[in-house]
Structure 1
């Protein structure tokens, strides 16, 4: 993929949510001047969407208040590079001082009359490179994340909404007829009542594989497909939803036990999966045969040996330095 194509596929940040979390961090730090309070009031009443974004951000903060480093995570998540680190933050964002006054003012003009339901559970789960971990949710669901993966969202009395921000995840969702669960990946939305399925998000595609039950998949353009157990679909920004195909369950989900399996897969896809587990980033240089197709199966602990084997058996060179591993064409 060219640099320009990659740029086109990048997900634009949600500015409103970024601003909302910046306000939450400001109030939590206690560093809010009267001028900033007025600016916040203006922002809050400018749009009901701003109000909803603020309450979501506040719920996320309160739900994660006891987690060390949550300030850094929120700042990094939203690219709030100019936001000053909170000093001696109030871990719970209490309705006191200027915040209470501003919210009371907004309520007085009727703009907070329809405050969204408080989250039952605010969710922010993530793994490091090389880590595979299962998280239990309060509704009885479980989510297993592959390496370098992240999910955020919230559950309310009316809905269960998640976003797979990066990486891949296996969902074992407790059935709730009154609260469908949705997983957003930027360009694709998955909707279920209760089932088991796998979602993988890459820069140029999203894949959904169903282990059991029924899954509805909808692309940004509006096209939709219904998948049953054993069905898999891939969506790209250019082509949208592809055809429903059958897949090998053992191979597709082998990552959960620390094994990566590929059948006639392009080298660029193999490298993308390696990068979730390799200690150093693996990068295809310009001219490297990223479309070369391979059939491989190996442990996530064997990435170095696999790359050495590819160097010996195929027309590529693998070069390592202290910070990354480069794959280039062997001229």
Structure 2
């Protein structure tokens, strides 16, 4: 007995006769009315592995259409002594096998290289951390995202796209390379597009900072675009839009991943904003506080209370606290 031909999803080259046999087996499968998701994926891989396969599949479909006029052909095709590979669960009628039903099935199957993958529901992504927590998440494609305290990323992955949104806070992205599925991170005012790289995005109320740890990214706004490579940093704000590309110290800039906040000549309002991602009580700047006073500090997120007490003692500011909040104002 002749062994049935099984569709092969590998990318190795095959002879014309073997290719036709594989194509015929796929035609019979789709004609049976079956449409299992795992088979759709196998078929998509089979098509993508060799451009000749699409031609063979279309040729096989045309041959089946031509056989519609052959008397009792449906009985011949479903005879177990001829084909066993995709035995249908129910008897195929002539209408399903050779009529408009098959034509419709083949039209769908020919486009399955793109259509089938789109039929798979997109993967919805919702990542977040509470105040005080730093956490690394692993995505389905192998990428990793580390979120700082009180941060949120959401989005969706499909067969052709990887779209994320940094809703708030900061995140370090270690993205698995995929030339066919670029990854885009949207912050609302800035979009970052990559194929595969490591980079950080910090979103504050008035600005967004992008720092590239490895690889290459493109940073875009509605008005401009910049290409950044490893060691580059750029800040976008309402006033400056996309600022100049500048070098940065990765060890200092990315120290938050290990629970350490580092600031060099940073305004007090930025320091307070970052502290609020880790403080058990919200820290608020009073209207009289010197919000633009610039400071250089480095401390663990577990030392916030001590740092604020030190600022009160060393700088012209006053730190008052109660059970619900900490307020910084101008010192006397």
- Relative to the length of structure 2, the TM-score reads 0.64
Pairwise CA distance, 1:313:
0.5
Report the alpha carbon displacement of residue 164 of structure 1 after superposing the two structures with TM.
0.3
Name the CA distance, whole Å, in 2 between partners of 1:119 and 1:223.
Answer: 33
5+ unaligned residues in a row in structure 2: which ranges? 1-114
Moved segments of 4+, more than 4 Å? none
Deviation at 1:318, TM superposition (A): 0.3
- How does 1:97-108 map onto structure 2 within 5 Å? none
> Which structure: larger Rg?
2
1:157 aligns with 159
- Correspondent of 1:186 among 181, 185, 188: 188
Q: SS at the partner of 2:170?
A: strand
Indicate the residue corresponding to 2:296 in structure 1.
295
Q: Which runs of 5+ in 1 are unaligned?
A: 1-113
2:309 is the alignment partner of 1:308? yes
Query: In structure 2, how many angstroms separate the alpha carbons of the residues matched to 1:252 and 1:164?
Result: 18
Does the C-alpha gap of structure 1 residues 142 and 224 become closer, same or farther in structure 2, counting only changes over 3 Å?
same
- 5 Å-filtered alignment, 1:79-118, equals 117-118=119-120
Kindly indicate whether residue 205 of structure 2 is the aligned counterpart of residue 199 of structure 1: no
Change (3 A) 1:309 1:185: same
- Distance, in Å, in 2 between the alignment partners of 1:181 and 1:222 is 21
Could you say which residue in structure 2 is the equivalent of 1:326? 327
Could you say what the CA RMSD is over the residues aligned between the two structures, in angstroms?
Answer: 1.4
Report if aligned partners of 1:311, 1:317 keep a CA contact under 8 Å in 2.
Answer: yes
Match of residue 147 from structure 2: 145
Paired with 1:242 and 1:176, the residues of 2 have a C-alpha distance of 29
Give the number of aligned pairs.
217
| 1:119 CA drift (Å) | 3.7
Shift of 1:121: 1.7
How far did 1:237 drift?
A: 1.8
Q: TM-score, normalised by structure 1?
A: 0.64
For the structure 1 residues 324 and 117, does the alpha-carbon distance in structure 2 shift closer, same or farther, using more than 3 Å as the test? farther
Q: Deviations over 1:203-247 (max 9, x none)?
A: 00000000000000001x330000000000000123200000100
